[in-house]
Chain A
Amino acid sequence: MVKVEFSLKDKINLLAPYVSKKITDQVRAVALIILYLTVFQTVVLGIPISQASVLAGGIAVIIVGLAFFMEGLFLGLMPLGEVIGIRLPQKSKLPVILLFSFLLGIGVTLAEPAISVLQVAGSFIKPWDAPLLFLLLNRYADILKFTVGLGVGLAVIFGMLRFMYNWSLKPYIFVLVPIVTVASLIAFFEPNLKHLLSLAWDTGAVTTGPVTVPLVLALGVGITRVMSKGDAETGGFGVVTLASLFPIVAVIILGLVLLPTVPKPMDQQAFFSASNQAKAERLFNDRTELISYALQNAEVSAQKQLFDGSRTELLNYVEQLKHDSKLRRQIFGSQQMEAMERWAVSNGSPEQRRVVFATSEAERAAVVKYRAELSKPLDLTEVSVRHGMSALQAVLPLSLFLLAVLVIFLREKLPHADEVFLGIFFALAGMFLFNIGIELGLAKLGNQVGSMLPSSFKQVELTEQTRIIHNFDEDVVITSLRPDGTQERFFYTNMNNAYVQVPFHEARFDEASGQYIHVPARGPLFGGEDSLAGFLVVLIFAFIMGYGATLAEPALNALGVTVETLTAGAFRKTLLIQAVGVGVGMGITMGMVKIIWSVPLIFLITPPYVLLLFLTFFSTEEYVNIGWDSAGVTTGPITVPLVLAIGLGVGGQVGAVEGFGILACASVFPILTVLTVGMTVNIKKRALYKGTEDK
C-alpha cells in the first residue's frame, strides 16, 4: 500500500485539534469537583486555600495525566483485552480459559494500587479498639491482599462461565447478595468482626480500579461477541459486579478463621496488661514491635502495663534506648538519635522527654527544630519515583501477561501492535502523571477541605495558619466573665491591620522565650456546637462532592464509552455518568451519616441491598448488567482520596473508631439510581407500545 507522508504543517494541523479535544474533555470532567472544593473552602468555610500554586500545578498535571491515561485505555489496554476476549474462546478449552481467568483475577488485584489506600486508611486504627482489623491491615496485610485476590480470581472465573454459557447476571446476584448480607449480619454481632465488616465491604469496592475495569470489560465484550447466540449486546458486563461481591465474602471468611487467635476489643490498659500480653503480641511480629507500637501510640498509663505497671521500669527502658543503638533501630526504625528525639518531641510524655534530653535548653531547641520540620519542603524526586513505581506496577505486569497470553499461548498476531504499545505507554505515563497530580493537587485540596469541614459544626484549629507572637507579655491578657460566673481569658492582637480577640491558652505561652503560639480557630459556623444545621452542611457537601468526583472517574468514563458504543449511542455516556454521580453522592452522604452518628454500616447497607434485589428482579438484563457494574467502577482514584480525607477529617472530630464503609455506601446507591433510571425508561416505553398495540 502506498504510504502517505505528512508534512510538518499537516502534522501540526492534525495534532492541535486532537490534543485540544482530549484536554478539554478532561477539563470538563474535573472542572466541577475542583471548582466546587475551592469555592466551598473559600466561600462557605471562609478559609483561604493554602499552597495554591502547588495545588494549581497538581491539578494541571491531573488533567494531562487523565488525558494520557484515557487515550492509553482506548488505544492500548482495551483493544488488547478485546482481542484476547475474541480469540480465547475460539482457540482454547474451558479449563484453560478458567485458569487464565483465575490468574488474571489475582494478578489484577495484586497490581491494584488502590488496595494500599485501605492500608493508609487503616493506619490510625488502634489494636485495642479493633484487634482483628489491626492485624489484617498490618501484620497480615499480605494475607489480606491475597485473600482479596482469591476472591477476585473466583469472580473472574464465574464471570467467564457466564459469558461462555450466556447466563443471566441475575441468579448470581440473587445468590451472592443474600450470602453477603447474612454473613455481614452474623459478623455484626461479633465485636471483632463488626469492625472488619466495613473493611470487607470497602475491599469489594476498591479492587475494581481504573486499569482493571476497562480491561475486564473489554475482555468480556470480546468474549460475548463470539459466544453470544441470543440477543445480549451488554452481556460483556458483570465481572466487575462479581469482583465487588466475592472479596467481601472472602474477607469475612478470613476474619472468621483468624478470629480465635486475636483478643477482644478492650481499653488500652487492659490491652497491654500482663494477662492479655500473650494475645496482644500475636498482633505484632514480636514483643519489641509491641513495645515500639505502645511507645508511639499508647498513653503512658498503658505503656506502663508492659513493664508490670512500673513507671520507673518504663523510664529505665527509655534510658536504655538512649544508649542501645541496636534496640533504637528496632523501636524507632533508625539507629540515629534523631529518630528518638523526634519521637520524644511528638509523642513522649514530659518525664520521657526529660530522660531523652539532658537539659531543658536542649529540649526546647529540639522542639523548635522538629516543629519546623513538620512543614518540610516538597521532595519532587521522591514523589516521582514512588508514583513511577506504582504506575509501572499497575500497568506493566498486566499488559505483559495479556500480551504473553495472546502471542505465546494463543499464537495470534497482535493487530495494530504499534498502536497498542503506544497506548500502553500512554496509560503508563498517564497513570504516573495522574497519581502525582492527585497527591499534589486533589488530595491536598481534599485534605484541606476535609480537615476544615468539621468547622461547620465544631471549633476547628487552623494549624496551617499558626503564628508565633514574639515578646508576649501576660499583662495584655484580659479576664472576662461568662454568665455562669466562670472566668475566661483573652487578649487582643493586631493581625493584618485588624485588632482580633484571641482566647488565651496557658499551654501555648512559653515564658522562657516570651513566645506565644497562636493557632487561629474557626467555627462552629452554622449554629452551635454539634448543631443539626452544621451536620446538614456536611451532608450536603458530601453529596455534591460525591457527584462531582464521579464525573471525573476514568473507569466510569471507560464504562460509559463502552455502553455507548454497544448501544450505538442510544444509551449515552452522560446519562450513565449522571445517574451514577447522583448515586455516589447519595452513598457518600450515607457514609457521613454512619460516621457522624456512628450508625452501624449494616443498617445503611442492608435496606438498599434488599431493595436492589427487588429492582433487579423487575429490571431488564441490560440495565442489571450496567447498573451493577457501575457500582464497582465508581470508587476510583478521584473519589477514594477525597472520601478518605473527608472521612478522616470528620471522623477524627467526632471520634469514630474507623472511617471505613463510606466507599461501600458509595457503591450501593449508584446501582439503585441506574436501575431506577432503567425502570422509568422501560415503563414509559412499555406504556407507549402498549398504547400502540391496543389501537
Chain B
Amino acid sequence: MEKNVHHCVEQSTGKQLCKIFLSVDTMFSKDAIDELENLGVARLSVETCRGIVLRHRKGLKALIRSGTDLKENAERQITFFALPTQEEKIIHHLVNKLHLNHPGMGSIYSRRVEVVRTTLPCPGKELPIAESGRAPVVKKLRGITCITLKGEGNSVAVVGLNTGTGVPNVSYGKGTGLRNRVGLWRILIPAEKEITTLVVDEHDADTVMDMMISAGKLDRPWKGFIYSYPVSMGVLNTKFYDGETQQAASVEQIVSALDEITGTTEWRKKSLFLQGKGKSRRDYLTNLVDFTVTCNEGLGELMTEFAMEAGAGGATISLMRHVDMCGSETAASSARENISMVVNDKQVGPLTSALEQAGLFNDQASGEIVRSPAYKAFT
C-alpha cells in the first residue's frame, strides 16, 4: 500500500494545536497505529491503561452478593497532535475507520493545547484526508483527571459508570512531591499512583467531579488530586456494561444515536442533578494551567526537581512509548516520560526557563512542553 507523505515541520514554539486522545483495546492498537501512519501523522505516544466497565454478577458471585462488579480490560491510549482546522475531520475519519461509533470499541476526543516549546516535529501542513461518512461527534465536553493512590483508582472511576456520564480509564504513574524531600524515608511513602481520566458533558462535569471527590475521599490529606479541563469534541464510549444485550438496539446504542442527533450529551444531564443533591461546597483552585512535559526516560525525576524548585507543587510521572513515524532525526528515545503538573497561570514562564536550564531541550532529554487550560482543581 502506498503511504501518504509525512508532514513534518521542525521545532516550533507557541503553536496552537489540538491533541487527540484515542483509546482502544490492545487488540486493535496496532490497527490504530497503522491507520495513523497511513494518515501521515508524524509521531505519536502510546500509554497503557485499563478500561473499566460494569459487569452484572453472575453465578456463584451473584448468590453471595447481587449487583455489579468491575471488569477491567487492557487498553492503549494513543495521543498525537493535529492542526485545529482538521480536528473534526480527523476524528470523523478515525471513528469510521476504527468503528468507534459502536459502543465498546473505544473513544476519541480532542483538547486544544499550546506547544510552549519542543524539540520534536509538529504538524505544519494539513493532512490529506478523504471525506468520510459522518460520525456522532459531541461537543462541549470536559475532561476530569484524578490522581489517587495505587489501588484506589477504581473507586473514583466507578462514579462515571454509576452515573452513566462516561466510561473511565486508569493508568499508572509515579507521584513526586513531599516524597523527594525526605531522604531515604521516602520509601515509606508509596510513589505509585493511579491516574483516572473521565470525559463527560460540561454540564455534568461539576457534579461528577464533586462525586469523585467524595468517592475518593480526596478532601482528606494525602489522598489525591483532581482537576478538570475543556475538551473540544469527541466520540465517547457509551458501553457501560460488559456483555451482550438481547434487544434490537442496546441502551448504549440509543444513547449514542441521541448524542449524535443532538450533538451534545446535555440531554442526559437531568438524572445527575438528582444524584448530586446536597453536594457540599468545596474550595476549588482556579486560574490553572495543565502543564505537561515530556522527555526521554530516566530524566523525569530530574526535571521534576527543577520544576519544583521553580515553584511547582508536585507532579505525576507516567511512562509512555514514543513512536516516530516520519524518520525525523531527533534524539527522542522510544521510552519517554510524561510529567504532568497543574500550575498557576503565572508560573508557566519561570517553569519553562527552569526546565530549559535543567537541559530539557538538549538532545539527551529531547523535551517538549505543552500547556492547556484547566478549569479547576481540588486537593
Contact = CB atoms under 8 A, between A and B. Distances in A.
A229 interface: yes
B172 A565 contact: yes
A499 interface: no
Given A2-B181, A571-B74, A622-B26, A419 B187 contact: yes
Pick the most buried of B74, B99, B194, B319: most chain A CB atoms within 10 A of its CB. Answer: B74
Contacts of B321: 225, 228
Contact of A568 (B104, B172, B178, B188): B172
A120 interface: no
B301 A415 contact: yes
A86 interface: yes
A15 B189 CA distance: 9
B255 interface: no
A422 B333 CA distance: 30
Interface stretch (A190-198, A250-258, A686-694): A686-694
Nearest to B324: A229
B25 A685 contact: yes
Contact of B188 (A1, A18, A622): A18
A186 interface: no
B185 A11 contact: yes
> Which interface class (under 10, 10 to 19, 20 to 34, 35 or more) fits B?
35 or more
Given A422-B184, A693-B99, A569 B172 contact: yes
A166 to B, nearest CB: 11
A4 B181 CA distance: 5
A14 B297 contact: no
A572 B72 contact: yes
Contacts of B72: 569-570, 572
Contact of B185 (A14, A226, A571, A689): A14
A2 B181 CA distance: 7
Contact of B335 (A86, A415, A689): A86
B74 A568 contact: yes
A233 interface: yes
Given A3-B183, A4-B182, A685-B27, A229 B334 contact: yes
Given A225-B335, A569-B170, A688 B104 contact: yes
A475 interface: no
A83 interface: yes
A415 B181 CA distance: 15
B184 A568 contact: no
A568 B192 CA distance: 11
A446 B366 CA distance: 57
Pick the most buried of A226, A569, A686: most chain B CB atoms within 10 A of its CB. Answer: A569
Contacts of B253: 695
Contacts of B194: 569
B30 interface: yes
B39 interface: no
A525 to B, nearest CB: 32
B224 interface: no
A572 B50 CA distance: 11
Interface string B67-94: 0000011111000000000000000000
Interface string A64-92: 00000000000100000001001100100
Given A225-B335, A689-B105, A692-B103, A568 B50 contact: yes
A226 B322 CA distance: 10
B105 A692 contact: yes
B187 A230 contact: no
A86 B178 contact: no
Contacts of A231: 26, 29-30, 33, 46, 76
B178 A4 contact: yes
A567 interface: yes
B126 interface: no
Contacts of A572: 72
Contacts of A567: 48, 50, 74
Nearest to B103: A692
B333 A14 contact: no
B309 interface: yes
A473 interface: no
A75 B244 CA distance: 44
Pick the most buried of A2, A233, A422, A571: most chain B CB atoms within 10 A of its CB. Answer: A233
Contacts of B268: none
A6 B186 CA distance: 11
Contact of B323 (A5, A229, A693): A229
A14 B171 contact: no
Pick the most buried of A570, A682, A692: most chain B CB atoms within 10 A of its CB. Answer: A570
A87 B335 CA distance: 11
Contacts of B26: 231, 233, 622
Interface in B9-44: 25-27, 29-30, 33
Interface string A657-695: 000000000000000000000000010011011011101
Contacts of A654: none
A182 to B, nearest CB: 35
Nearest to B184: A418
B304 to A, nearest CB: 10
A415 B185 CA distance: 16
A691 B305 CA distance: 50
A692 B49 CA distance: 22
Nearest to B253: A695
Contacts of B297: 86, 225-226
Nearest to A226: B335
Contacts of B102: 692-693, 695
A571 B46 CA distance: 18
A233 to B, nearest CB: 5
Contact of B184 (A15, A419, A565, A692): A419
Interface in A435-461: none
Interface in B156-200: 170-172, 178, 180-189, 194
A70 B104 CA distance: 38
A2 B310 CA distance: 12
A410 interface: no
A23 interface: no
Contact of B49 (A11, A227, A568): A568
B308 interface: yes
A597 B319 CA distance: 53
A258 B91 CA distance: 68
Nearest to B309: A1
20 contacts: A1-B180, A1-B305, A4-B178, A4-B181, A5-B182, A14-B189, A15-B188, A226-B335, A233-B48, A418-B184, A422-B184, A567-B50, A568-B49, A568-B74, A568-B170, A568-B171, A569-B50, A682-B27, A685-B73, A692-B105
Given A419-B186, A567-B50, A569-B194, 9 more contacts: A1-B180, A4-B182, A225-B297, A226-B334, A415-B301, A565-B172, A568-B171, A622-B26, A689-B104
Interface of A: 1-6, 11, 14-15, 18, 75, 83, 86-87, 90, 225-231, 233, 415, 418-419, 422, 565-572, 622, 682, 685-686, 688-689, 691-693, 695
- What are the 8 A-B residue pairs with the smallest beta carbon separation, nearest first? A570-B74, A570-B50, A225-B335, A14-B188, A4-B181, A692-B102, A568-B48, A18-B188
Interface of B: 25-27, 29-30, 33, 46, 48-51, 72-76, 99, 102-105, 153, 170-172, 178, 180-189, 194, 243-244, 253, 297-298, 301, 305, 308-309, 319, 321, 323, 333-335
